[in-house]
Structure 1
């Protein structure tokens, strides 16, 4: 029952400041390692090969660490705590709900809150843009921060979960098509796409099933394929018709407006704090469905 226990621990405690203000979070440690390898290896020639080597070192270290923790003679206690730390459902809900709380004060407060969870420009956002960004982040991170780690734990135990998390962290740091990282971050980006392929689609299905809306599935594949990411579009494409809103669409990065297509283009575009609340309810229901599945798998 390690996985269900880890899910409940994460949902109850989240990421307590009193702990992570005193000791570095494992994701922060992974980030430091990735940054160090980036500084040392991302130069000169053969950058793609060096990026492959970087991913190999990171994943081998993560798998070995997970294996060592899993074999400790402690009746699974440390493994349960480790798995809980690698999940991020409660913190996801807290961050998304904070945007709704901010919007109820002012658009500026909403922008400040959403800037903590998205990478796009926020200074020119109106209230609908802010709410839409929060819901998109919630849907995408449900896949990256909850369902995908659970999936890889079910497939390969704690080593699989740790490998997924370090690859996902690497992709968020170096997996960009910029002059500096297009070659060096290629392996991290491609491996992250592979590891998220099944979880992203599973997340979309769970969102609709857990919220009693499987009839919306026929819209999901087409809308998901409009997204610039091969995976992030799937949970967004499920959340949008569930709430009867449009997601994605035009947004600004680094001062340049990008004309991205709408997900569920016929949905409402006047998204507000109430829609964020409804999205959080949907996220909790999806988490509940995942918990039921984890319990069934543990019993089997």
Structure 2
């Protein structure tokens, strides 16, 4: 069975089953185990002098562990590869988290804030309804790249070793890749490597979203808005989503009690958005997934 065929089955399996509670309430999720290993490395290496060098050592260990585990697990055969890929490509759970925010907003603003706090790292306690909705949509578009397209891309390119190495790097970046006094030196190597491994997937995600959203003609504007983003990669899917949905995303937001003045994406779009916009985003992400799946089927048939 080819890598493309394994990936195809894994994507469909994830779309059908997602992350069943009955399983992950009994067993630790692989992403949780990865996070625990990152935490273990950080506690032991992020001390004293030479933290940049220690951070380089940490991301090297993460990458090597991912490659090694992926190679060993791939020896167990296609069924194991399908199951692991289905677990680590998180399309259905991504959309379910977004739907939870939309549902929460229909109940109350506090409920919406609690739901969005599960998927974003910014301050949520004083968010308005439109800020909650924007945060969910931004998270959804960025995680379409980090959680779906990039894992699939690296699996297609390098099999299970590529997928696990990517997830290790991406998990590391989500935990230590911050410009804070604690992590700026130690997490720099992980953050830079994460930027590198997401370089192609982020732009591919933006292109897929633009295609299904009917805004490919706006690609020059999408590229201009993406360049304003604080991340070299996250701006691409976010800018494409903003144009596809006719929304204005990003803008000022608060982290750890500090308001940061980020640029708006698609300034001509609507800013007063609510739960229905999140549901439109969910539909857009499923269409993006569907286009990616169709391209993968075509790739499988041709090659």
Q: 2:215 aligns with which of 209, 213, 216?
A: 213
- Give the Cα separation in 2 of the matches to 1:47 and 1:218: 40
State yes or no: 1:31 paired with 2:42. Answer: no
- 8 Å contact from structure 1 (residues 31, 169) kept in 2: yes
Cα distance per residue 1:96-121 (max 9 Å; x no partner): 01111111111111111111101111
TM-score with structure 2 length normalisation? 0.96
- In the TM superposition, structure 1's runs of 4+ consecutive aligned residues that sit over 6 Å from their partners are none
TM, length-normalised to structure 1: 0.97
Per-residue deviation, 1:41? 0.9
Q: In 2, Cα distance between the equivalents of 1:71 and 1:220?
A: 42
Matched, 1:247 2:249: yes
Q: Could you list the per-position Cα deviations for residues 130-157 of structure 1 after superposition, in whole angstroms to 9, with x for gaps in the alignment?
A: 1111100000000000000011111111
How many pairs are equivalent? 298
8 Å Cα contact 1:27/1:169 also seen in 2? yes
Equivalences for residues 46-195 of structure 1 within 5 A: 46-72=50-76, 74=77, 76-195=78-197
CA distance in 2, matches of 1:78, 1:185: 32
State the SS of the aligned residue for 1:257. strand
Tell me the distance in 2 between the aligned counterparts of 1:147 and 1:242. 18
The CA distance in 2 between the partners of 1:298 and 1:60, in whole Å, is 29
> In 2, are the aligned partners of 1:216 and 1:242 still within 8 Å (CA)?
no
Q: Is the 8 A contact 2:105 2:275 kept in 1?
A: yes
8 Å CA contact 2:214–2:244 kept in 1: the answer is: no
- Segments of structure 2 that go 5 or more residues without pairing to the other structure are none
**2:154·2:162 contact (CA, 8 Å) conserved in 1?**
yes
Asked if the contact 1:223–1:237 (Cα under 8 Å) also holds between the matched residues in 2, the reply is yes
Per-residue deviation, residues 238-288 of structure 1 (Å, max 9, x unmatched): 000111110000111111111111000111111111111111000000000
| 1:197-222 C-alpha deviation (Å, 9 max, x unpaired) | 11111000000112333222221110
1:257 aligned to which of 243, 256, 259: 259
The alpha-carbon distance between structure 1 residues 205 and 89, as it changes in their structure 2 partners (threshold 3 A), is same
Kindly indicate whether the alpha-carbon contact (under 8 Å) linking 2:215 and 2:243 is maintained by their aligned counterparts in 1. no
Match of 1:268 in 2: 270
| 1:176 Cα deviation after fit | 0.8
Which consecutive unaligned segments of at least 5 residues does structure 1 have? none
Alignment partners' CA distance in 2, 1:86 and 1:297? 21
| RMSD across aligned positions (CA) | 1.0
Which stretch has the larger CA shift, 62-71 or 242-251? 62-71
**SS at the partner of 1:18?**
helix
CA distance in 2: counterparts of 1:216 and 1:95, whole angstroms = 29
Whole-Å Cα distance in 1 between the matches of residues 179 and 216 of structure 2? 36
